[in-house]
Structure 1
Amino acid sequence: MEKILEVKDLHISFHTFGGEVQAIRGVNFDLYKGETLAIVGESGSGKSVTTKSIMRLLPESNSEIKAGEILFDDKNLAQLNNKAMQKIRGKDISMIFQDPMTSLNPTMKIGKQIMEPIVKHQNLSKSAAKDRAIDLLRLVGIPQPEARFNQYPHQFSGGMRQRVVIAIALACNPKVLIADEPTTALDVTIQAQILELMKDLQKKIDTSIIFITHDLGVVANVADRVAVMYGGKIVEIGTVDEVFYNPQHPYTWGLISSMPNLESDDIELYAIPGTPPDLLNPPAGDAFAARNEFAMKIDHEKQPPMYKVSDTHYAATWLLHPDAPKVEPPEAVKRRRRKFPENKEGK
């Protein structure tokens, strides 16, 4: 598969009154043409910071890319200045944000907002850009696009506003589309419609998607591969089947165990004990060690390397060391394996 984007050993810090927050601590991943990579994890795990750094949207006043590379189209985005990034944002890499109301200008008509990146990046006339904008409204499922073109954001429902945001993001047929929890602000029914829309659009325009979410149920429906983040690092990465049915990291076990299961007799949902680490003073060992009931002495002393589970599946846990004790995952994880035995090995 053709590699579109490559993030190598990325380190990002924020300089605050309390000290240096080491928000991203050595993140590595690749994105391939036409695939959807989901990045999952609790709030504060580094999902949005990682993807905003790709767009170079982090505040320059207090953030710093301390090390690493973001390789795209033979360029290291981490080293480009703002003027160079303006030629890439919206054209080659676009982003859909969480709340469509704050993503749209309430004083500007919808059509003009969609036309803006088309005119800037594709050098089309206003007439051609208008036709393209109306086509995009039709593509994302907005009825009567010619009439809607001249309306304002407040005249659209939440789901329709998110469709408009998607239309803006797709205006220049980007190679990479970053979706930062695009359904969080929507109700469940509209969420399903937006997710279905994104899957359909990906087939039509052949773009690569990075999908950020904390909802594993969403991941199962949209992603090809999954990267699990914790404490500013990727702790497990693999195909959807590998991560869902053969998870290796105790944090992934916890996330899967906390998912509601209609067939379970459990009265209470599992909750991962404790809180995420303080990245002002990151732990010396595995960041999850303090919350991990299976933690060994080495977990508190040294960060685990990424162990290879298969050609596409890797996990950073000392439990995969040849000398580690054999540990059984929680019952919720084993139930999932029993229900889908053919996926046990990530097939």
Structure 2
Amino acid sequence: MDKILEVKDLNISFHTFAGEVQAIRGVKFDLYKGETLAIVGESGSGKSVTTKAIMRLLPESNSEIKNGEIIFENKDITKLSNKEMQKIRGKDISMIFQDPMTSLNPTMKVGKQIIEPIVKHQKLSKASAKERAIDILKLVGIPNAEERFNQYPHQFSGGMRQRVVIAIALACNPKVLIADEPTTALDVTIQAQILELMKELQKKIDTSIIFITHDLGVVANVADRVAVMYGGKIVEVGTVDELFYNPQHPYTWGLISSMPDLDVEDEELYAIPGTPPNLLHPPKGDAFAPRNEYAMQIDLEEQPPMFKISDTHYAATWLLHPDAPKVEPPEAVKRRKRQFLEEGGKQS
């Protein structure tokens, strides 16, 4: 498969009154044409900061890309001027944000908001842009698109507003679509519809998707590959089957264990003990060590490298070192694996 995006050794800091927050520490991943890569982890793990860096949407006043490259079509996005980036943002790389009400301008009709990027990037006339916008509204499943074109955001339901946000993001047929928890603000039924819509649209326009979420149930439905983030680092990456069949990092075990299981009665919901690390003072060793019941002395002293499990599966945990003791994953993880196997792996 052809790579469309490469993130190499990315380090991002925020300068605050309290000091330097090292939010992203050596993040590295690839995105291939036509695939969906999910980035998962708790709040504060660095998911949104990483993707906002790809869009160059981090605040210039207090953020700094200290090291690393973001390669898109043989260009390093971190080195582009604002004017050069404006030609890419919205045209080649688009983003769907979490809350549609803060993404849409309440004083503008939705049609005009969809037309804007089309006129700017595709140089179409307003008449042609309107025709294209109505086609996109139909594509994302909004009924009576011609009538809805002239309505304001407050005249749409939450699910329909999110469809409008998706329509804006897709207006120029982007090569990369970043979805930052696009279903978090929606109820479960609408969430399922939006996820199904995104899968259908990906096939139709052949775009690559980076899907940010903290919900592993969503990951099983939409992703081809998964990158697990913790403490500003990627700690495990693999195909969705590998992450559910054979998770290797204790943090991934914790995330899987914390998923509610409707098949088990009176199950106490698991929570990962402790709190995420303070990135004002990043730990010397493995950032997850204080919360890891399987931690060894070396976890407190030295950061683990990425150990190779397969050609597509890597994890940064000292438990994979040849000299490490053999540790079995928790029973909740084994149970999830059995359920996943019974369901036939990744849902199509």
TM-score range, shorter chain: over 0.9
Q: 1:209-242 deviations in whole A, cap 9, x for unaligned?
A: 0000001101110000000000000000000010
Deviation at 1:338, TM superposition (A): 3.6
Distance 1:292 1:265 in 2: 27
SS in 2 for 1:107: coil
Between the aligned residues of both structures, percent identity stands at 85
Deviation at 1:244, TM superposition (A): 1.0
Match in the other structure for 1:324: 324
Q: 2:178 is aligned with what amino acid?
A: I
Distance 1:68 1:283 in 2: 21
Number of matched pairs: 346
Q: 1:41-97 deviations in whole A, cap 9, x for unaligned?
A: 000000000000000000000000000000001100011111110000000000000
User: Normalised by the size of structure 2, how large is the TM-score?
Assistant: 0.97
| Correspondence list, 1:142-153, <5 A | 142-153=142-153
Give the stretch that moved more between structures: 264-273 or 303-312. 264-273
Match in the other structure for 2:248: 248
Over the aligned positions, Cα root-mean-square deviation in angstroms equals 1.5
Residues 1:167 and 1:331: Cα distance change in structure 2 (over 3 Å)? same
Alignment partner of 1:188 is 2:176: no
Contact residue 24 and residue 233 of structure 1 kept, 8 A: yes
Alignment partner of 1:111 is 2:111: yes
Distance 2:192 2:200 in 1: 12
Distance 1:340 1:261 in 2: 12
Contact residue 337 and residue 344 of structure 1 kept, 8 A: no
Q: 2:144 is aligned with what amino acid?
A: Q
Distance 1:186 1:266 in 2: 27
Alignment partner of 1:64 is 2:64: yes
Contact residue 256 and residue 336 of structure 2 kept, 8 A: no
Distance 2:339 2:103 in 1: 41
Contact residue 8 and residue 27 of structure 1 kept, 8 A: yes
Deviation at 1:336, TM superposition (A): 2.5
Match in the other structure for 1:120: 120
| Correspondence list, 1:13-28, <5 A | 13-28=13-28
Distance 1:337 1:196 in 2: 24
Match in the other structure for 1:100: 100
Match in the other structure for 2:234: 234
SS in 2 for 1:28: strand
Distance 1:266 1:327 in 2: 27
Contact residue 244 and residue 340 of structure 2 kept, 8 A: no
Unaligned runs of 5+ in 2: none
Deviation at 1:340, TM superposition (A): 4.8
SS in 2 for 1:87: helix
Distance 2:127 2:149 in 1: 13
Unaligned runs of 5+ in 1: none
Match in the other structure for 1:167: 167
